[in-house]
Chains A and B, each alone.
Chain A
Amino acid sequence: MKDEPNPFDDIPGTTLFDAQRSRQGYHLNMFCMSLMKAENRAAFKADEAAYLQKFLMTPEQRDAVLKREWNRLIALGGNIYFLAKLFSTDGKSFQQVAAIMTGSTQEAYAQMMLNGGRSPEGNRSKKDWENRG
């Protein structure tokens, strides 16, 4: 069972929020959830590192939060809808953070969306991404 390849792992640039990631990211995501309250947002902004100590996160997760490394946060078990509480606290939109995660500029990403978005052609399998070099 354990060694069977997961077909979702073949989808490039995509992380499924599955059981393993949910367990890994529980405290990271619950930290994000705490930012739903205005008083918690204020406390976090006042001293981010101190605020993070209240949650049973790993040092790596805390570091990724402080540096706002979004793809790394996803890899460490963060879920995009929970991370949204963090980037909303920063005053950032979904589109701004999506652009950062794709390694694009805001302008280029917004223009790609206006042009109809990222095509599924060449983006279905990790092989597609390897082939494009």
Chain B
Amino acid sequence: MAKLVAGVATSHVPAIGAAIDLGKTEEPYWKPLFKGYEPAKKWIAEQKPDVIILVYNDHASAFSLEIIPTFALGCAAEFPPADEGWGPRKVPVVKGHPELAWHIAQSVILDEFDLTIVNNMAVDHGLTVPLSLMFGQPQEWPCQVIPLAVNVVQYPPPTGNRCYNLGKAIRRAVDSFDPDLKVMIFGTGGMSHQLQGPRAGLINRAFDTAFLDNLSADPRQLSRIPHIDYVREAGSEGIELVMWLIMRGALDEKVREVYRFYHVPASNTAVGHIILENEA
């Protein structure tokens, strides 16, 4: 049987990808950030997941304003890195897991989560930066990846509660998949940041810390945070944190926090990272 063993959350700031791609990770500005991911890289190298369900948002790369799916599940065999305006990142093509992806799609749709099935999708920094942070710069990504793109660009994004419950539905789908697979789920984006307008640069360490604490202590409370609180407290782009709740919903009620890292700034953003393992 497939087994969901752990969840990982991390920010996906594009400048982090650029720092890796341009060989700047040892520069004083970036070094503390990449040092903070070293224990996570070691952990995942030991864990060796077969498949990662990677929750992220597309930043006007695969989806423009023509089609705006709230939840879009990548069911293809592979996903090329997107050209975001300066050429695609020179990272490996992302290999999917169509069999598990289609199983999840069928399972959650019958479970009343009507997500969109996508067979042709380029993936942008929202998906590739977390892979780079966890796996460095390999020739090929060491596992298969199922992209789950969530709309957080066009207001309104899905509620935290909807995301949390979708996570639970994804868990039921993984639990009912026969082949033996070690599965992880990533929630990406956040933490507090605002990229636009005269209030750009907003960072809220207290909000972020409470959010990290409650991922294990009280995720239900997090699932009830209304959109206005995210925007006011964590900045207009801090609302990406609803994606972390899909990851959290897919884990057991009780989880073990095995690692946490928090760093300000990466460009305009507070970088947050946490690893949660199921206890069983």
Which residues of A pack against B, CB within 8 Å?
A: 7-8, 11-19, 22, 26, 29-30, 32-33, 35-38, 41, 71, 74, 79-82, 84-85, 88-89, 93-95, 98-99, 101-103, 109, 112-114, 116-120, 123-125
Contact = CB atoms under 8 A, between A and B. Distances in A.
Interface of B: 14-15, 59-61, 64-66, 83-87, 153-156, 192, 194-205, 207, 228, 231-233, 236-237, 264-265, 267-268, 270
B228 A7 contact: yes
A88 B86 CA distance: 7
A114 B198 contact: no
Given A22-B154, A113-B264, A33 B64 contact: yes
12 contacts: A19-B155, A22-B154, A36-B83, A79-B60, A82-B65, A85-B60, A93-B15, A95-B267, A113-B264, A113-B267, A116-B203, A123-B202
B265 A84 contact: no
Interface SS of A by simple majority: helix
Given A94-B268, A98-B268, A120-B207, A88 B85 contact: yes
Contacts of B194: 14, 118
Given A79-B153, A94-B15, A123-B202, A15 B267 contact: no
A36 B206 CA distance: 37
Contacts of B14: 94
Nearest to B195: A80
A119 B86 CA distance: 32
A62 B153 CA distance: 23
Contact of B201 (A11, A19, A38, A118): A118
